[in-house]
Structures are given as C-alpha cells and as structure tokens.
Amino acid sequence: FRPTMGRVPAGEENQRFFDSSTRTSYKSLLLLGKGGFAKCYKVRDEFSQDNWALKVIDKKNMNDNQYNKVLREIKIHEGLDHPHIVRLMRTFEDDSNVHIVMELCCEKTLLTLINDSSRLSEQDSQYYLRGVVSAVTFLLSYDIIHRDIKPGNILLKESGSRTVVKLADFGLACMMKDVSGASVSGTPNYLAPEVLKRKGHSSSSEAWSIGCLLFCMVVGLPPFDSTSIQETYRRIEAGDYKYPPKIGLSSAVVTLIDGLLRVPVSERLGVFDISSSAFMRSSVVKTSFTNIANSRNCSVAASRTCSSRVSYSGVCHPNSPTRSKYSPPPPPLPPRQSVFQYSQGLAHSTYGFDTTRSQSHQDSSSSLSISPSLPNLLFADLDIHTATLGSLLSGVQSMAAVRMDHPLHISKWVDYSNKYGFGCLLSDGTTSVKFNSGEIVSLRNDFTGVYAKSHSMKPLPLNMRDAHIAKLVELAKSYNSYMKTQLAKAAKVDDTRENRRWNDMSTPYITHFSKNKKSVMVMLSDGTIQINFTSEHIKMIISPDTSTSSLLSFIDPDGVFTTCRTTSLPPSPRCLSSSILSLIRESNEFISTEMSYLRCSRHSCPLTTSC
C-alpha cells in the first residue's frame, strides 16, 4: 500500500460497504492507502458507530493465483490474537471485491516516527522492540515466520496513556514447514544473508530482521542501506555495516545488534535470546507520543506492500490460521472458493491461544470459568501451593532439581468456550472437558470415566443410559480426537503412566480454569495447578508433594522438563533464576486472586452447604 491519508476521492464520498452475512453497513470516512488491487479506508460501522480499517480488494482484475494468495493471507492473520499484533476482525465478499475489516491504528508507524525524529532514543527503542519481540516470539511458537519485519510494518497505537506496538502485514507470512529455499521474500534492507543465498527463511532470519530494525531505530537508517540493491545485498552477505561515530550508543545496544547481525547462523542470537540481553534488562522509559498524535494520521492495520519489497519464486502462505501448533492444512483451495466459505470451513478452536472475539472477553483482565465450589481438600492443596510459592519469594526456602517421574500435567488443550467449553488432554491420557454449563466429563482411552457437576464436585461413573450425559461424552470424544490428531506437536502422552494411574486412583478431571492477558491457569481434581505463560512459552506445574510443600515443575519453550523440590540448600540455577522467580511471583498473584474469587463464590452459593 501507498499511504495517502486524505479525503475520500471524488465520487467515493460516503461510500457504503455492506456485509450481508452480518447485515452490517460500513461508511467510508478517509482514504488511508491504495495499491495495485486494493484501497484501504477508515470506515464507520453505522450501527455500532465503531471505526475500523477496511481493505477493499478488487478481485475482478486478479488471477486465481493472486486471489488464493489473498485467501491465505487472511487465513494466517485472522486466527492471531495477541496484544502486539493487529487484529483482523472479519471478512466478507461480494461479486466484485473481498473486504477485510481490521483494527484501526490512528497514530503512526515506526517508520514515520523514525523519519520525524531522525532517530530514536535507546529507551524508546527498547520499549518498541519489546512489543515487536513479543509478537514475533508469539508467531514463532506457532511455527509462523512473518518474513517482512521492518519499521513500516510496525504500527503504533495509543491506549490510554501508553503507546502499543502492533505488528501488521501478513502478506508474506508462512508456516515454517512450507518454507522454500528458493523463495526470497521480504524487503531488501532487512533480508538475512542466508535468505539471499536461497537457504530459506527461519527463526534466525527473523532475528536478523529484528537486528536491522533495532539498528534503524537507534541510528536512523537501516544498517546495510546503500544507493543500489546490488550493493545492499553485497553488504548483507559480508556483514558490512558501521555505526556513525558521533552517535554515542551504549555497549548494551551495540552488543545486542552485533549478536543479531552475525552472518553465520550458528553464531547469531535467536529471537528468544533478545529479552534476556543486557539491553532489554535495563530500565525503560515507557513512551507516549502524544506530541505527534494526529487525528487524521491513521496507520491502517492492513497489509502494506512497500514498493521495495521483493518476492522471488513465489510467496509461500500457510493455510490454517486458527490454532497454535497448527493442524495439517485443509485440502488445496479450489480456483474460486469464497472468503466466507474458506473461513467457515475451519473450526475456531485453539491450542495455546483463544479465538473467542467477544468484546467483554477482550476488555476484561480475566475470563473466568466459574466453579462455585471446590472440595475442602482442594482448597487445602491451594493453600499449600501458595505457602510454597510465598516461601520461595521471601527467600525462606529455595529449590533444587530432583529426578522423578513427570507429575500429572496438561499436554494439550483446546478452548472452544464460545460454543461448548474448555478441554484438555492430560499427560496420563485422560481427556477432560469442562462445559459452559459447568458440567465436567473426564474420559480414559477406553472411553470410561467420570462425570461431575461444578456445584458438587463429586465425580460419578459415566452413565451412558442418560441421554444428556451420553451427548456430553460424544462431545468429549470429539475433543479427544481433535487434540490427538490435530495437535500432534505437543507433549507426548505417557500411556504406561496412564494405566498405572487408573489402577490406583480415580480419573482426574478439570475443576477450574481461568485466563488473563498473560497466562492460562487450569486446576485439576488431584490438586495440580498448571499455568501456561503465553508470552514466555513456559509451563509451570504445581503439584502436591508433602502435607506442607508442593513440587514445582517447568517445561521450557523447547519442551525440556525440570522438576524442583523446596529445600534449605542453595538454589539450583535452573529452578530459581530471576526469570523463574518472576513467573513464580505472577503465579502466586494469579492463584491468590482465584482463591479469593472461588472462596467468595463458594460461600455465596446455596448449593455449597454440603461441601
């Protein structure tokens, strides 16, 4: 897109775009940009009066290949729900155009901010980089590479008193498994040397682009900028860049940039290394650019195709957008499948993030699945868990790694609470689903198991002669099938442990789950709590150990499992690093908040008097 930021052209004033599927009419207010096949407008929903960005793509002048690329761009973008990624709200189509409704960012891009300021301070650069890294880390954890990270694709949006970074433009985004070494996609100044050598895009090439982005912020120009593309490519392949002598950059930012711009991939810092760098750990001044905000300067959350962006040997797009650890792609697109049909063909379920789009969910800090009462024993377990975490935070105790079987934990999960409920596959093979009604079904591999009601939390054997329970069991089987077949990259289920567990204890089941902006928490009937930290991609399992302490286990982004026990000995570095302590602190606050809520709900519920 070429940003135009002007009045709607003559003849297009007050133009209306009608979505027949939702009976919604959008009125054009401002032309934001235009490209070869599309125009982008600031529009207003005439019913809700909300303002959006609307990308209108002329499909009459597109061939089938170009049309299918639009569909695939939509599919990867519409399933992404992250605070630092521009949201695609909905799509609709008529005989002439494809319409994409997106979040509107009415301030500036990072590129215009750099151009206006010549260069950014290190404090401001660190703040913006933090949001970019969060977004890219999110994508990589779901095997997506953006392939066009650059200042022009970083939108800046004011939210209250702070500025929020938003990553946009998924026109070149691709699943890692679909990357072709022959494809060179991106913007020349931000391409990694291995991409130019046709070795393919990867998480390492994303790290390189982030290094170029950081250099551009603190210096004011891309590191390999030159008067010709050929010279730019030569400099990239040689790693030939220099810092202007009079800028006076800190050693911390130079060290990080140099680490990200190492030509040998084996020596280059990764995206996951950025947050722990000295530069990112230093104090930060949160930036608000109210002095440059302009009500008419709207950056669109649409795909911007910069004139200097190149794509050789085609562009690779993913097919499935609505899940993390995406399932195998659907069948190839027919030549003219509609956006609506293509979109409706995939279930809006998740593994690792939620696709529920209700406004109330987006605006709340915590979305609760209400469990009005928990057995006294579970509250006792929760008290022990919080006491254990508190002793670690206060320094009274530390932790040491221990060798033992992995405790019961959640290996896969699906949040389909916009229709049915929340389900998970446990490490012992059990599938447990908590339905929106509050009812719970937990199934073993032989599809025997238990049924529980939230208000009593007393599990009963499954009674398949009860038509209602039989229906819930069939839904739970669907969850089981989906998680086992479509979420194949998650942790493997230990079937031997599964059989041992069922011989000596009742089938475990979900008692409560809750979500906030940073994490997902699930409580199990055996007293286990698991918290998945969505940004760090670390899972923390707190399980009963003794009558006075709990076991803490951590699964890192690479799937490495570490179990720790409280001790008075010096702490193990793996168990009590500063980053782990931060997660423990967040967990303690999360659990304490939920306990207060559950206890309050329990005492106010007339059905809990027998508990």
Alpha carbon 334 to its chain centroid, in Å, reads 30
- Can you tell me the distance from the alpha carbon of 121 to that of 294, in angstroms, rounded to the nearest whole number? 21
Residues 6 or more apart whose CB falls under 8 angstroms from that of 381 comprise: 527, 544
Structure tokens at 53: 């960005």
- Measured distance CA(97)–CA(589) in Å, rounded: 49
At 168 the three-state DSSP class reads: coil
Ligand-binding annotation for 55, yes or no, is yes
Cβ pair 79, 65 in contact under 8 A: no
Q: Are 214 and 158 in contact (CB under 8 A)?
A: no
Handedness of CA 95, 97, 100, 101 (dihedral sign): negative
Contacts of 268 (CB under 8 A, 6+ apart): 204, 207, 208, 259, 260, 261, 262
- Could you tell me how many residues make up the chain? 611
What is the DSSP pairing of strand 431-435 with strand 421-426?
antiparallel
Q: Give the up-direction half-sphere exposure of residue 3: CA atoms within 13 A in the CB hemisphere.
A: 18
Q: Rounded to whole angstroms, how far apart are CA atoms 568 and 398?
A: 6
What are the CA-CA distances from residue 285 to residues 112, 121, 123, 280, 327 (Å)? 20, 10, 6, 12, 40
Q: Report the C-alpha dihedral over residues 359, 364, 367, 372, rounded to 10 degrees.
A: -120
Known binding-site residue numbers for ATP = 55
Binding-site residues = 55
